[in-house]
Amino acid sequence: MIGIMGAMSLAACNQKEQKQEEPFDYTVEQFADLQLLRYKVHGFDELPLKQKELVYYLSEAALQGRDILFDQNGKYNLIIRKMLETVYTDYAGDRADSNFVNMETYLKRVWFSNGIHHHYAADKFIPGFTPEFFKKALESVDASKLPLAEGETLEELCREVFPVIFDSTVMPKRINQADGEDLVLTSAANYYEGVTQKEAEDFYASMKNPNDTMPVMFGLNSRLVKVDGKVKEKVWKSGGLYGEAIDKIIYWLKKAEGVAENEAQKAVISKLIQFYQDGDLKTFDEYAILWVKDLDSRVDFVNGFTESYGDPLGMKASWESIVNFKDLVSTKRTETISANAQWFEDHSPVDKRFKKEEVKGVSAKVITAAILAGDLYPATAIGINLPNSNWIRSVHGSKSVTIGNLTDAYNKAAHGNGFSDEFVYSEVEKGWLEKYGDLTGDLHTDLHECLGHGSGQLLPGVDPDALKAYGSTIEEARADLFGLYYLPDKKMRKLGLTPDDDAYKAEYYSYMMNGLMTQLVRIELGNNVEEAHMRNRQLIAKWAFEKGTADKVVELVKKDGKTYVKVNDYEKLRGLFGELLGEIQRIKSEGDFEAARQLVESYAVKVDADLHQEVLARYEKLHLAPYKGFVNPVYKAETDAEGRITNVTVSYTEGYAEQMLRYSKDYANLPYRNE
C-alpha cells in the first residue's frame, strides 16, 4: 500500500532549519498539470563500495521493467510511445508549429503516465495536435523506426491506432469505477482481455477456499483472457507474458545477489528470482515473508508486481520498483512509533473485537530513495507499507517506510510558491503551518504507514476482498484516520515526537483544507473524484464537516468573495475523526460492502461544482502544477582493467526528455504487442 502526498504544496511554507548544503536545483521543468523535480540521494557517496555496487545492480534491475507497466496500462501504449518518440526525434519539419509543440507535450504526458491515460485521474489525454499532422509526420520519418508489425503498412497501423489516440470514446478510462457498470469491460487497463466482470469474479471466486488461512493473492501476476471460450490466466514470468523484460530483471538481480550484505538479504533476492522464474504465487508469499523479516540490511528494495490500484477489481498488480537505503538519523523517529505500536492499538477508538490482541513486527524506517521505476516513476509515493497479503501481515508483520529525501525535495521545490497565501484562512493557521507543517506532515505519514495499515483485524471468515472496488478507499481512510486521531495525543508529546499542544493543528488544518477544497485542483471541472487516496481524503473531510455542522466544528467561510476552510474546534474535530475511525474499522473488519458503498458514494466521489470552479480559478493564477514527479539520478560504475567495479558515482544533470529517451532506447525489453 502506498501513501501519496496530499497537500504537498502546503508543506512549502515550512522554513526548515537550513543546513549548510551545496546549492541544488530541485526543479526540472513544468508542462500541462505536471512538474518534474529532482531528488538528492543524500549519503550515497558515503556508502561502502559493496553497498554502492548493490544499489547499482538493483537500480538496473529496476529500470529493466519499465515497458511492463506501459503495457499493463493499455495494450497500445508501447506502440503509441514509439510512434511519438520517432516523430519527436526525427521530424524534419517545423518544430515550432503548434501541432508539433502540442505533440511534444502529449508525449511528455505519456512518458509521465506510462501510457495515454492520466496517471492519477485515469482518463484519456486529449491530444492538442491533429490526426492529419501526425499522419504526415509519420510518413516523413524512416519507416524502419516505426512499430510496424510483420508485413503491416503505415496506413494499417494508423487505422488501428489513431482511434485510440484521437477518438475520445475509445478506451476513455484506464480504470473505471462507476457504480453499476461492467468495470472490467469499461476499463482500458490491459489486465483482462475478452472477459466480463462477472466472468472474472466467478473465475477467482471459484479459486478461493474460505478455510485457507494462508491464501495467496489470486490473480496478482497475470492477465485474464478468454481462449476458445475458456477463461484462463496468462502469467507474467520468465518464459511467459513479459518474459523478455523479466529475464533482464533476473540478470541484474543475480548480480545483486552476489554482493548482498548478508545471508538474509541474499535469500530475499534469490527467492524473488525464483518467483520471476516460476510465477507461482506461493513462491511470492515465501519471498514476501523473507523480505519482511530482513530488517538489518542497510540497502533494501521493492521489485515486482505490487500494488493493485490500477485494476478495477483490485487484484492484478502493476509492476514497480524502488531501491533505497536506510536514513539512520531520521529512522529514530519511526522506531519510537513502532516500538509503541501495541499501546496505540490498545488505545484506539475502535471496538475491541476489531483490534489486534498482539501487534506483530511493525517495523518502520525512513529511507533515502536511490532509484524509482515502474509505477513509482516519475510520480511516486512518499510512504510504502508492504507486503499487501493480509495473512502475511497479521502473522509476520509488515515493513513500513517513509521516503525522506523525496518529501524533502517536495518541500524545497515548493518553498514560497504562494499556495498558502492564497488558500489558508488567516495568519494564525499560516503560522502553525510554517512552524509545524513539515514535522506533523511527516508524523502523519509515519503513523499512517507504521501503525494505520497494520492496525485492526478482520473477523474470522471475512473475505479480505469483500469491499471490492471500495476496498482501497476504505483502507486508506482507515490508515489516515489512525494517524489523525493520534497526532494530538498526549502520548505523542510524552514520546517526544510533538513539541507542544498546538503542533497537530497544522496537520488538522491542512488536511481539512485539502480534503474539502484544495485537492480539487487535481481534477478537471465536471469530473468526479476517482483516485483512492483522494477519495479517502474527501471522505474524511466531508464526513467530519457534515457531522460537525451543528457545533460549527468546521466551516466554509467567505472573505472578499473567496472561500476558506475555518476550523473552530480542534478537539471536537479529533472526536469526529475517532468516531469515523471506529466505523471504518467496523466496515473493514466485518466486510460490510453496503456500508462501504454508502460512505464512499455519499462523501468521497461527488464534487461541488461552484467551489470546484472557484478553487481552479484561484489556483490557475499561481501557475503551479498540481502533480509532481521525479527525474532519476544517473549512476555510473567505474571499473578497473579486469572489469571489477571500483566506484559508483551519482549525478543529477540529466533532463526529463533526455532520460525518457535513454530509457526507451536502453530498456526497450518488450515487443510492441504482448499477447
Q: Which residues of this protein are in contact with Zn ion, per CB under 5 A?
A: 1, 3, 476, 479
Q: Smallest distance from the beta carbon of 476 to Zn ion, in angstroms?
A: 5
| CB proximity list for 518: less than 8 A, separation 6 or greater | 7, 9, 10, 419, 423, 615, 619
580 three-state secondary structure: helix
Q: Which residues pair with 299 in a beta bridge?
A: 325
Q: Smallest distance from the beta carbon of 509 to Zn ion, in angstroms?
A: 21
Residue 465 or 476 having the CB closest to Zn ion? 476
Q: Smallest distance from the beta carbon of 400 to Zn ion, in angstroms?
A: 10
158 three-state secondary structure: helix
Q: Smallest distance from the beta carbon of 480 to Zn ion, in angstroms?
A: 7
Residue 279 or 454 having the CB closest to Zn ion? 454
Q: Smallest distance from the beta carbon of 506 to Zn ion, in angstroms?
A: 20
Q: How far apart are CA 265 and CA 169, in angstroms?
A: 48
Any long-range contacts for 141-149 (C-beta under 8 Å, 24+ apart)? 141/86, 141/87, 141/90, 141/91, 142/86, 142/90, 145/86, 145/90, 146/82, 146/83, 146/86, 147/78, 147/79, 147/82, 147/83, 147/672, 149/672, 149/673
Residue 44 or 482 having the CB closest to Zn ion? 482
Residue 35 or 398 having the CB closest to Zn ion? 398
3-state secondary structure 265-278: HHHHHHHHHHHHHH
Residue 405 main-chain phi, psi, to 5 deg: -70, -20
Q: Smallest distance from the beta carbon of 475 to Zn ion, in angstroms?
A: 7
Q: Return the exposure string of 342-369: e unless at least 16 CB atoms fall within 10 Å of the residue's CB, then b.
A: eebbeebbbeeebbbeebebbbbbbbbb
Residue 59 or 473 having the CB closest to Zn ion? 473
Residue 383 or 437 having the CB closest to Zn ion? 383
Q: Smallest distance from the beta carbon of 445 to Zn ion, in angstroms?
A: 9
Q: Smallest distance from the beta carbon of 1 to Zn ion, in angstroms?
A: 4
Residue 172 or 361 having the CB closest to Zn ion? 361
Cα radius of gyration rounded to whole Å, the chain: 24
Q: Which residues pair with 637 in a beta bridge?
A: 648
Q: Are strands 2-3 and 634-639 parallel, antiparallel or unpaired?
A: unpaired
Helices 98-113 and 131-140 cross at an angle (nearest 10°) of 90
Residue 257 or 307 having the CB closest to Zn ion? 307
Residue 1 or 386 having the CB closest to Zn ion? 1
Q: Smallest distance from the beta carbon of 535 to Zn ion, in angstroms?
A: 12
Q: How far apart are CA 44 and CA 63, in angstroms?
A: 19
